[in-house]
Amino acid sequence: MGAQWDLYVMAVLYVLAGVNHFVNPTFYLRIIPPVLKYKQLINSVSGGAEIVFGVLLLTPYRSTAAVAVIGLLIAVFPANVYHLMQKGAGMKVPIWGLWLRLPLQGLLIWWAWQYV
């Protein structure tokens, strides 16, 4: 895979995460803050975006896709905060995992930034 093996890993992770929005929508629907309407639409759009951006990371549009990934990560951050505030939103997620997810978002942004 060459020196940019991590790019392939990142692309596959986003595609798989996007597919999971459609395979396991309940998880995502439960962590969308209630102030937001059209939860099904939000889930479908964010999942579809992850798939598209993941694929685009492997094309000449890599830089644009990386910026889009960063925007998506920022846009979904409130769901991560809500998930923590709701102590897992009824899911069996350890509280330390919910706390870890917040700085992980920053790490994912940094990772995508490497391809801008």
DSSP string, 13-44: HHHHHHHHHHHSHHHHHHHS-TTS--HHHHHH
Residue 81: its pLDDT value, please?
Answer: 92
Q: Is 99 exposed, middle or buried (0-12, 13-18, 19+ CB in 10 A)?
A: exposed
pTM above 0.75, yes or no: yes
Q: What is the pLDDT of residues 55-112, one digit of tens each?
A: 999 999 999 999 999 999 999 999 999 989 888 777 788 889 889 999 999 999 999 9
Q: How far apart are CA 52 and CA 15, in angstroms?
A: 7
Two tokens, residue 98: 């919910």
What would the pLDDT profile of 6-55 be if each residue is shown by its tens digit? 999 999 999 999 999 999 999 899 989 999 999 999 999 999 999 999 99
In this predicted structure, the answer to whether residue 3 has a pLDDT above a threshold of 70 is no
Residue found under tokens 């102030």: 35
Cβ neighbourhood burial of 101 (10 Å; 0-12, 13-18, 19+): middle
Q: What amino acid is encoded at 43 in this protein?
A: N
| Alpha helices (runs of H) in the chain, residue ranges in sequence order | 5-23, 25-31, 39-56, 62-85, 95-113
